[in-house]
Structures are given as C-alpha cells and as structure tokens.
Amino acid sequence: MSFGDPNNPYGPPQQPPGQPPQQPGYPSYPTAPQPGYGYPTAPQPGQGYPQAPPVPQGYGYPLQMPMQMPGLVTTARVLLFILSGFQFLAAVIFGILVAVASSAENDTGLVSGVVAAVAVLMLALGGLSVFLGVKMRNGRGGIRIGTMIYASLMILGSLVNIGQGLSQTAAAGALGGIVSLAFGITILVAMIKGGAWFNRPRY
C-alpha cells in the first residue's frame, strides 16, 4: 500500500517516528513552558532583586512649635503696663501742680520747675515701661538686661520712698513705696528666672 511520495511538499505532513499519530487537519503547536522549565519565572517577594529601602521622613529643618512665654515673664509684662499707667497718671497730676504753682502770686519759679521736672520724669518712665513691656514678647537679651536694671532702680527708689514716708509719718508715700517695691521685686525675679525665654532660638 502506497502512502505517496515523502518528498512531496503538497502531501500530508510526515509524523516523526516515536510520537503518536495526529488527527488529520489539526496541526500541532508547541505548548507553553511549565514553571521550572525553560524561561525563569518572575521573582517572588524576598527573592531576586532586593526591595527598595523605605523613604526617610523629615526632610529639611525640623518643625518646632514656638515656645510659650513663661507665666512669671507674662506677669512681669503685665506689671510693666500697670506701672506705666500709674506713671502717666502721676505725670498728669504733677503737670496740673505745675500749672497751679505757676499761677500763684508767690511763685519764684523754683517750685514749678521742680514739679515740672518730676512730671517729665514720670512721663519718661511711663514710656519706658510701655517699651519694655511691648518688646518683652520678641525681645532678646538686651531687653532682659534693660528690664533688670530698670527693676533694680525701681526697688532702690521704693526703699527711699518707704524710708522718707516712715520718717515723716506720710502713710501715702510709704504705701506707694511698698507697692512699687513689690512690682520691682517681681519684675526682677521674672527676668532672672526667664532667661530661657529671651535666649530661645528664632526660626
């Protein structure tokens, strides 16, 4: 029985020996390679290429919350504003006394000059108190040292007023000296203990 010429290109394809016969009309195609044979499989987690390192956090400068003004420094600031009010009030009172002394018939000019000098001094001290109180929020070491000197002079003046009031039995002068002394001591202690506030870093 003849199956045709094996070299005929138009004849049916020849089956290699050792393989099962194929159905006519269905050509065979190569199957996909199984895992482990042929092409390598994709790397599994933990195998193959190393994983990317975690992204570091916190680029740039670290953000820090601004320091809050200590309570003792805040108290000193409030006392400076209160003190400035008293000083401005004293300046107005002494200004009125200057006007009264100038209108007096027996005025030699010396009394009105002294009272006017005191009025100007009270006005300047009131302005200084306001300046120190305002600058205390954002001020540096210079404001702290200036406030310490100011408080020390206030304490010294208060002691003088207390001594004069007691020697002349002037209760008003002694009482005013005691109040001013308490203000001066509080402000001085606040400046001594509040150094961290004036030396804090600025961002």
Residue 170 lies in a domain: yes
What pLDDT band is residue 63 in, cutting at 50, 70 and 90?
very low
Q: What are phi and psi of 79, to 5 degrees?
A: -65, -35
Whether 90 maps to a domain, the answer reads: yes
Higher model confidence: residue 17 or residue 141? 141
> Where in the sequence is the domain holding 130, given as residue range(s)?
71-198
38 domain residue, yes or no: no
- Evaluate whether residue 52 is within a structural domain: no
Cβ neighbours of residue 175 under 8 Å, at least 6 residues apart? 165
Distance CA 65, CA 58 (A): 15
Give buried/exposed letters for 58-82 (b at 16+ CB in 10 A, else e).
eeeeeeeeeeeeeebbbebbebbee
SS3 123: helix
Domain-embedded: residue 17: no
Cα–Cα distance, 163 to 179 (Å, whole number): 14
The pLDDT assigned to 62 comes to 45
Residue 203 lies in a domain: no
- Is residue 104 one of the residues assigned to a domain? yes
Tell me: the pLDDT tens digits for 22-54? 555 555 555 555 555 555 555 555 555 556 555
Tokens of 176: 């005013």
Asked if the structure places residue 143 within a domain, the reply is yes
Confidence band for 61, pLDDT divided at 50, 70 and 90: very low
Domains contained in the chain, number: 1
**pLDDT at residue 165, rounded to an integer:** 76
- Reported pTM: 0.65
